[in-house]
Amino acid sequence: MALELAPRKIRVNAIAPGHTETEGNIAAGTFEGSAGAVLAGKTPLGRLGRVTDIAPLAVFLASDESAWITGEVIRAAGGLVLAT
């Protein structure tokens, strides 16, 4: 999509969040019991992600400040990829 839409000055990027506490995950019981603590323990920053960790990245990617970024997948996972 990024290649196809670049001539139209449309940027296409993706955010790959780590384990994030969202209303949906909480309602689904994803982090109930020790699951949340186990996942947080595997993350170098030692906690689950929050919506407030991901939203500013989305705002940045939608802004003119990211005008030179397209075709990228940006991980926002608290360093989880480094730990695995």
Domain ranges for the chain: 2-83
pLDDT in tens, 23-82: 999 999 999 999 999 999 999 999 999 999 999 999 999 999 999 999 999 999 999 888
The mean per-residue pLDDT over the stretch 14-31 comes to 95
Cα angle, residue 43 at apex, residues 52 and 14 outer, rounded to 5°: 50
Position 83 pLDDT exceeds 80: no
Task: Give the pLDDT of residue 33.
Answer: 92
73: which strand partners?
A: 14
What does pTM read for this prediction?
Answer: 0.86
CATH of 2-83, one of 3.30.70.420, 2.40.50.140, 3.40.50.720, 1.10.10.10: 3.40.50.720
Contact 11, 50 (CB under 8 A): no
Give the residue-averaged pLDDT of 18-22.
95
